[in-house]
Amino acid sequence: MDRFTSLRARMGALLPALCVGAFTLMIAPASLAQGTSQDANAGASRPSSEAVMLVARPELQNELLGSSILLVLPLDNGGHAGFIVNKPTAMTLGQAFPDDEPSQKVQEPLFLGGPVSPNIIFALVKRPDSPGADAIRFTKDLFLAMSSDTVDRIIQNESDHARFFAGAMVWRPGELKEQIENGAWYVSDASAEVALSRNVDHLWDDLVADAEKHANTF
């Protein structure tokens, strides 16, 4: 059984039905009107040209994306893609792939990156240079690996400064901008330290508090 087939079989119990189509989440202005102010629009153009961190505003009441932190990158077609970085699952890589010896040494849980392609493992790794030809740079020292060969090498050789995700988030062109303008997200600079934080229990609360303190800078 290959890695993708194995993961598909094991992830079914972890992914709620809400994930189906959740990446096209549309946020009605009225639902967030009470929490929307001028500062909510200040970062509306930020996701168009660079990687950013998105922090869900407290008013965003959604089972998947509520209290979430995302690392997001613009796509060539005008859309965006990224990963939820603070939603660990109850499964480790070793549990997902019991026959894969290198996976057994990764103690950190597998994270739910999003509802798109949840049977595929992605790796975010902190390093000064690219881990492989397929890798995408998010920040100067943070790369995304997508091919199974590159992800496998990261599992084997540098899992101590990496995080592994099942699935991803995707927005159609203009969709994320609309969500930001409707007050769904705080926007800040992309950060490898936040994306790979080893303690995510209170990370969202801390980032919201900081965003509300410095709202006018977003």
- Rounded Cα distance between 149 and 26, Å, is 35
Question: Would you say 182 and 137 are in contact if contact means Cβ atoms under 8 Å apart?
Answer: no
pLDDT digits (tens, 9 = 90+) for 194-203: 999 989 999 9
Neighbours of 105 (CB within 10 A): 13
Q: Which amino acid is at 56?
A: A
Nearest alpha carbon to residue 183 among 78, 82, 60 = 60
pLDDT digits (tens, 9 = 90+) for 154-192: 999 999 999 999 999 999 999 999 999 999 999 999 999
Phi, psi (5° rounding) for residue 74?
-70, 150
* pTM value > 0.95: no
- Rounded Cα distance between 189 and 53, Å, is 6
- The structure tokens listed for 183 are 């007050």
